């Protein structure tokens, strides 16, 4: 007996009247189920991040680095089925949220105040440092992806850039270990630069504008740029912060380029896991949208501070999660080549920006 045409034309499992309407109760049920599965792991990562913040406030030092090492101490919990889903969610989804929210700190007007010379210097420094990272990685026997990751972290904004670039590269245990080593290395070098670079600027008798360009154009992490800049005075601090924001604004372009170049690998890796990933990840689109909204003045200043706090907290929790997912032995197995690579990239970036500053000095 032949089925009616109206029934034969419906997809298998679909009701004859057309696709089912969204069920709010079903959506709430799925959300509650996801929360129930992940709350233990998320709570662990949040507690590790809070402990890192407490120690950083009490003793000083980079909170991200504390979160990483504290997280490694709880690596054994990643094998627990009760905590693994939440840890993995923090290390992936929450990480992307934190990176996307960085866009709320940047406006086109801020970049325009620097002038085309400063913009050209910063853009050239970012491009050549990433290129140097790729070349040096090959010379040291590392992969191109590792060179892009370390070069981007050095050139743009340290640990945040490392996490953002890693999020669009094909995922593997080796890539995760390398990312953590980059976070450790770039944060350590950034802290050292915060202490040393102001002395270099004073020794060369740089003007506040050029000192800000030097500090903002070379130090990796935002917090260390702010610390070094305002150590030399409010004018230098303001200039260094704006230059650093210009470097952060290049993150979207670099991550987009990396995402497009790796799209084939990511889609092949995702072929057995679900739908194909988009050309540009959603967090990168959100980053660009927030930059546009902030440039138009549609994000109130009071809210900007709150968004920045949420972004920072998300990144700290995410790096804690990545620490939990990595054993100390695996971290040490990454080898000395990564640290040598980061050091050479840092020297390249510092030398290039310093040369430009000396050329501009009257």
pLDDT tens sequence across 82-96: 999 999 999 889 988
CA–CA dist 177, 32 (Å, integer): 32
Residue 183 covered by a domain: yes
How many domains would you assign to the chain?
1
CA–CA dist 354, 210 (Å, integer): 9
Distance of CA 113 to the CA centre of its chain: 25
Instruction: Calculate the average pLDDT of the chain.
Output: 85
Residue 18 covered by a domain: no
DSSP state of 62: -
Residue 28 covered by a domain: no
Q: Please write the tens of the pLDDT for every residue from 54-72.
A: 999 998 878 888 998 899 8
pLDDT at 325: 85
Distance of CA 129 to the CA centre of its chain: 17
Residue 138 covered by a domain: yes
Which residue, among 144, 153, 107, has the nearest Cα to 126 in the 3D structure? 153
Mean pLDDT of successive 10-residue stretches along the chain, which has 362 residues = 46 50 67 83 96 92 86 90 93 88 86 90 97 96 94 93 90 84 89 91 95 96 86 90 91 90 62 55 86 92 89 91 80 78 97 96 87
Q: pTM for the complete prediction?
A: 0.79
Q: Is the CB of residue 353 less than 8 Å from the CB of residue 117?
A: no
Listed in sequence order, the residues at least 6 apart from 337 whose beta carbon sits closer than 8 Å to its beta carbon are 140, 141, 142
Residue 198 covered by a domain: yes
Residue 189 covered by a domain: yes
Residue 298 covered by a domain: yes
Tokens standing for residue 146: 């590792």
CA angle, residues 108, 110, 111, in degrees to nearest 5: 65
Domain of 225, in residue numbers: 41-267+278-360
Residue 4 covered by a domain: no
Q: Is the CB of residue 68 less than 8 Å from the CB of residue 320?
A: yes
Q: Is residue 146 packed enough to be buried (19+ CB in 10 Å), middle (13-18) or exposed (0-12)?
A: buried
pLDDT at 1: 46
């Amino acid at each position: 007996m032949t089925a009616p045409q109206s029934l034969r034309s419906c997809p298998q499992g679909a009701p004859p009247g057309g696709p089912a309407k969204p069920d709010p109760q079903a959506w709430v049920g799925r959300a509650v189920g996801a929360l129930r599965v992940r709350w233990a792991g998320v709570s662990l990562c949040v507690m590790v991040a809070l402990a890192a913040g407490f120690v950083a406030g009490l003793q000083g030092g980079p909170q991200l680095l504390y979160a990483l090492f504290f997280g490694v101490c709880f690596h054994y919990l990643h094998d627990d089925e009760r905590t693994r889903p939440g840890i993995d969610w923090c290390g992936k989804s929450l990480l992307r949220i934190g990176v996307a929210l960085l866009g709320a700190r940047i406006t086109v007007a801020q970049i325009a105040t620097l002038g085309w010379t400063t913009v050209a210097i910063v853009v050239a420094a970012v491009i050549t440092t990433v290129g140097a990272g790729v070349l040096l990685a090959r010379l040291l026997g590392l992969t191109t992806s590792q060179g892009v990751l370390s070069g981007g972290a050095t050139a743009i904004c340290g640990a945040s850039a490392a996490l953002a670039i890693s999020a669009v590269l094909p995922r593997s245990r080796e890539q995760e270990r390398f990312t953590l080593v980059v976070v450790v290395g770039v944060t350590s070098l950034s802290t050292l630069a915060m202490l040393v670079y102001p002395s270099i600027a004073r020794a060369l008798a740089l003007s506040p504008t050029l000192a800000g360009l030097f500090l903002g154009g070379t130090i990796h992490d935002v917090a260390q740029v702010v610390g070094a800049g305002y150590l030399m005075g409010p004018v230098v601090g303001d200039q260094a912060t704006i230059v650093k924001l210009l470097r952060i604004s290049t993150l979207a372009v670099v991550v987009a380029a990396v995402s497009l170049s790796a799209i084939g690998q990511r889609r092949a890796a995702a072929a057995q896991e679900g739908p194909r990933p988009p050309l540009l990840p959603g967090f990168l689109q959100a980053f660009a949208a927030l930059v546009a909204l902030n440039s138009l003045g549609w994000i109130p200043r009071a809210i900007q501070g709150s968004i920045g706090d949420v972004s920072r907290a998300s990144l700290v929790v995410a790096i804690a999660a990545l620490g939990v997912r990595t054993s100390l032995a695996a971290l040490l197995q990454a080898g000395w080549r990564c640290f040598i690579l980061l050091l050479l990239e840092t020297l390249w970036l510092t030398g290039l920006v310093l040369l430009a500053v000396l050329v501009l000095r009257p």
